Amino acid sequence: MARVQIDGDTLTVVIEGLDKLWALKSSLSIPLSNVRGATADPGIVMESKGIRAPGTHLPGVITAGTFHVDGERVFWDVQNAAKAIVIQLADERYARLVVQVDDPRATVALIENAITHA
């Protein structure tokens, strides 16, 4: 699971627990100017993950780490699809971050509010 927070003009995604091991990452920091938006999207887990490099994918259990699909790099950290959000990025290493959070609606609202007022 991930914790999303806004620190000034930076969006920080902190990977928690054993997900750090599966995702091979402990956090990501993105300037708010490169965040295009966020949506709650439980159906995203049905999409092709592409090529894993590096990461973990056990269908129906966990998808975590870096995946390459359609020429884009996407970061995943999802176990429970119902709590998945997608953060769209521009001019970053990743085109999208797909992460599981405690409260998808509140997290999307936090991100959308931050980029609106940035």
CATH code at position 23: 2.30.29
Amino acid (1-letter code) at residue 66: T
Measure the CA–CA gap between 65 and 27, rounded to whole angstroms: 11
Query: What's the pLDDT tens digit per position in 62-79?
Result: 999 999 999 999 999 999
Q: What is the pTM assigned to this prediction?
A: 0.94
Q: What is the pLDDT of residue 118?
A: 65
Query: What's the pLDDT tens digit per position in 28-59?
Result: 999 999 999 999 999 888 887 888 888 888 88
Smallest Cα–Cα separation from 81: which of 69, 58, 99? 99
Instruction: Give the pLDDT mean for 70-99.
Output: 96
Which residues are paired to 98 by β-bridges?
Answer: 76, 86
Q: Which two tokens stand for residue 16?
A: 């928690």
Which stretch of DSSP H or E encloses residue 11? Answer: strand 10-15
| Total number of domains constituting the chain | 1
